[in-house]
Structure 1
């Protein structure tokens, strides 16, 4: 028997209470707090991929965090949104259970659930977003479209803003986030950390595309503008420190929990305290430029607001980006001697999934000289490239380099006046950006165009420069399907149209999957049974054919497993999208919303009630709703 002296008993009791508090999880966790759930701490991307897909048929009754059972597929006993407002449930769980408003007619089979988290549980609020939702809801003729848009459009803001401080909030913090004199300037800037959804980390690519749908609205809402400006600042920090990496933990000063990532054999070695995963993907670098460019194009021309993305960190990040491009244009062998060049990036992972690591001791398959393209070790799906010259990623980079060079040319005086030109040689950088952009364009047209016996001149997905080519497309953006959306080719270009026909057919694209209930482009990341709704959103945005648009739109509306959200992928042989992956995947919801906004502007008659026919809804024409703080 252990005898505790009387004077030590309060300390001992306090220790017991502390241990009980730490060992027994609370039920009050919300979407971005996984501290109390060992299961969610292990939700890395690879583990999520290995989990069996959700199947609504097998989950009629789903336990909620309060210990009670909530109905998952049975409309007779729904969960009501109003009953959830007192408690913030982890959104991965919340999004997998149907919630209805008390005003919803749940006897109507077209009534989909309301899946926005309770207002007190949302991670960000924007008045202009709510205005756009209300304006469009009254115009939509299909109630399914109305509800999915209502759920999907704000999904990133509602659920994935893990950390955000405005410039004013940052400067007023009693304990500064950045107490190192060399980085103290960051305390005067906004910062935003955007997670991908069910994985507690930020992908440069995902977060840039998640926010893209809101960029046209930042001139109407200063809070939304500050959020995106903060996202640029945070990405700048991350990229400047670890330019080869694709996904990141929340930074220590953010004081939020993080989940275990992947610590692989990578050269150059990253800072694993900050890095969730370090897969070099050319499109992640291009996405950083996309995020910045869209901010510049949409920010109000008041008080130099459109120029304020340029900071010390942003210029350092741009410098590191250009350094990576310079390194990764290096071929495997020297042209004159045949000697092997030094490998600037090596990646190896212990895994039984072939697409999660690289061949030849992590160096990748050989890439030829004189091709004018930039190598990429991984694709936007996070799968390893087979041939290092990834064509959609190179196209994306070429577009953004050219556009960003034009922007920086206009801002040279601003950079100089603010004493920022000591961080980068602006003229040399602009020249290098244009050279890379033009070389990449030439390289794609000279080396990535092939004659297909059925479709004519088409683009390959990947090449090595030796004549080897990979003919396929993947749903993730950038893709061959997305080239007009990226701005690389005009949608009417015969080369694009031929390529589009090829990749949207089963005989031309091994990852175009078609079943009795769903179809679309998938990819090796999930497998050969699942197509990604994201591919259909892009097919709609690159189509002028009303019948094709309506076909793909109906597939999207009919395959949410009755949950009213857009999922990562759907089993094409299961009805209603009932078997899917990732209940909480914000990027796909943003892409859906962007597609509907595209139709509202360009083809309103397809989706609006008759009284709104011929009346496009244009985001640039909302000046009457401008929000002044």
Structure 2
């Protein structure tokens, strides 16, 4: 068994990031022509976004990285949005890219980086408001669904799932984070723009339904109304126990049947998503208090956040034989735990990004070292990269989402440079960020059009432009 000292030495954080990824230039030529659609083919244009691209591109010292930013940052607006008005309200339907459906999680993450520019562009501000309105409509249709259609007559490939499917639903996997992302976007839209007009009667009804759903999924008195099974032969796509998941001890945590990867949880208390719920409940409590002047419901959100947070601190911090005290990814309340991390956000790596704990928190620092080491069964290292993947795609595949989040959760210049250089070396000549790639062959990738990853990469570059501009000036 490794000692903790040797564990740190053998982790990515312990050995440092001097062993940068190998060049992938043999895979493609130096052709930095924009990969964006022509102007007339773009789904939405924003002057503020275009000006930001021009400004930041000038500050990036590496031509290839600048080219990637130009392709990726506007990808959501260029290719995935349908912006319209209905009943005097704005609505924005946002697909993930190569799947024509709107995930609550992805759509929030896809437009989140544009919020900082909303006050500079009224059209962009209305598009952001439209995403919130559309998400509210989706939640009111079914708070347990994770993905939706804009056209209720469209037939889902998952129509035969053993769960309560309704018209307009693409998939009905219950994931805590889906609802948290809706709350997060609403809160940050308000904090950034000062516009509270989006908090109308429908929004309030949807937020109360989220509160009700979270409480129901604490399952203190019964298993609740939700269950899910899928008969496609993939164990990651269905749940144990006739669709209710493995048994749990009721400790105040919220059950989540699926992870943000859309993979089934093994133990239903998914800790990273419960952490996200704590943050989102507190943010929504602030809206109810300061905007809606409803202290009764505000206190209900605060109380649930407190209960969940206390349960996390009591039950989810466990001793790992190599890493010491860390957060487990999943627990059941009986003492069983799953020690791993998955690249999809929210994950354990993203704890400070979510706002649950600081980067300097000791348990988080141990957890981060674990996530970015071979003690994590879904950490891979190969010829071109090392980083976190997940069971959704399988072994030897790294998810760029994990590399981006790694850079967003550190202040270490060397580590950030490693992540940037790896992202640059593994786009396989496409100029875009993919869902995953093989550690020994960047051309072996999944999803050529995955807008969440593209926009999160843009968010990283914006973050570095504001916080570490000297890093962007470097030639990688």
TM-score normalized by the length of structure 2: 0.92
Between the two proteins, the alignment pairs up a number of residues equal to: 451
Which residue of structure 2 aligns with residue 362 of structure 1? 243
Equivalent residues of 1:113, 1:562 under 8 A apart: no
The Cα shift of 1:427 comes to 3.3
Aligned-partner Cα distance in 1 for 2:32–2:155? 32
Q: 1: distance between equivalents of 2:253 and 2:156?
A: 34
* Alpha-carbon distance between aligned partners in 2 of 1:359 and 1:260, rounded to the nearest angstrom: 23
Are the counterparts in 1 of residues 154 and 168 from structure 2 also a CA contact under 8 Å?
Answer: no
Q: Provide Cα deviations, 1:383-415, integer angstroms capped at 9, x if missing partner.
A: 0110010001000010011012112211125xx
| Contact 2:60/2:474 (<8 A) preserved | yes
Report the alpha carbon displacement of residue 603 of structure 1 after superposing the two structures with TM: 1.1
Q: Out of 161, 166, 170, which is 1:276 matched to? A: 170
* Superposition deviation, residue 74 in structure 1: 8.8
Q: What SS does structure 2 have at the residue aligned with 1:190?
A: strand
> Which 4+ stretches in 1 moved above 6 angstroms?
none
CA distance in 2, matches of 1:520, 1:309: 39
Q: Which residue of 1 aligns with 2:46?
A: 126
Query: Hey, what does 1:157 align to over in structure 2?
Result: 77
> Which residue of structure 2 aligns with residue 351 of structure 1?
232
Counterparts of 1:478-557 in structure 2, within 5 Å, are 478-506=346-374, 508-557=375-424
- The SS at the match of 2:99 is coil
* Structure 2: distance between partners of 1:360 and 1:476: 25
Say if 2:159 and 2:165, in contact at 8 Å, map to a contact too: no
1:242 aligns with 2:142: yes
Deviation per CA, 1:56-113, whole angstroms, max 9, x where unpaired? x9xxxxxxxxxxxxxxx997xxxxxxxxxxxxxxxxxxxxxxxxxxxxxxxxx54444
Q: Could you tell me which residue of structure 2 aligns to residue 600 of structure 1? A: 465
The Cα shift of 1:266 comes to 4.3
Please identify, of 511-520 and 201-210, the stretch whose mean Cα deviation from structure 2 is larger: 511-520
Describe the superposition over 1:493-535 as per-residue Cα deviations: whole angstroms up to 9, x where unpaired.
Answer: 11111000001001x2100111111221111111112110110
2:137, 2:200 → 1: CA distance? Answer: 10
What are the equivalent positions in structure 2 for 1:203-602 lying under 5 Å apart? Answer: 203-252=103-152, 258=154, 260-267=156-163, 269-271=164-166, 273-299=167-193, 301=194, 306-331=195-220, 341-369=222-250, 371-413=251-293, 426-506=294-374, 508-574=375-441, 577-602=442-467
Structure 2 gaps, min length 5: 1-23
| Corresponding residue of 1:617 | none
Deviations 1:286-326 (A, max 9, x none): 01001101110111x4xxxx111112221121121111111
Q: Say if 1:232 and 1:291, in contact at 8 Å, map to a contact too.
A: yes
RMSD: 1.7
- TM-superposed deviation, 1:606: 1.0
- Give unpaired runs (5+ residues) of structure 1: 1-56, 58-72, 76-108, 171-176, 178-186, 335-340, 414-425, 611-629
Of 43, 53, 57, the residue aligned with 1:137 is 57
Considering Cα pairs closer than 8 Å and 6+ residues apart, tell me whether 1 or 2 has the greater RCO: 2
- Describe the shift of the 1:74–1:490 C-alpha distance in structure 2 as closer, same or farther (beyond 3 A): closer
Provide Cα deviations, 1:399-453, integer angstroms capped at 9, x if missing partner.
011012112211125xxxxxxxxxxxx3332111001111111111100001123
Question: Contact 2:94 / 2:107 at 8 angstroms: preserved in 1?
Answer: yes
Larger Rg: 1
**SS of the residue 1:244 aligns to:** coil
- Per the alignment, residue 99 of structure 1 pairs with none
Mapped contact 1:139–1:609 kept (Cα < 8 A): no
Match of 2:5 in 1: none
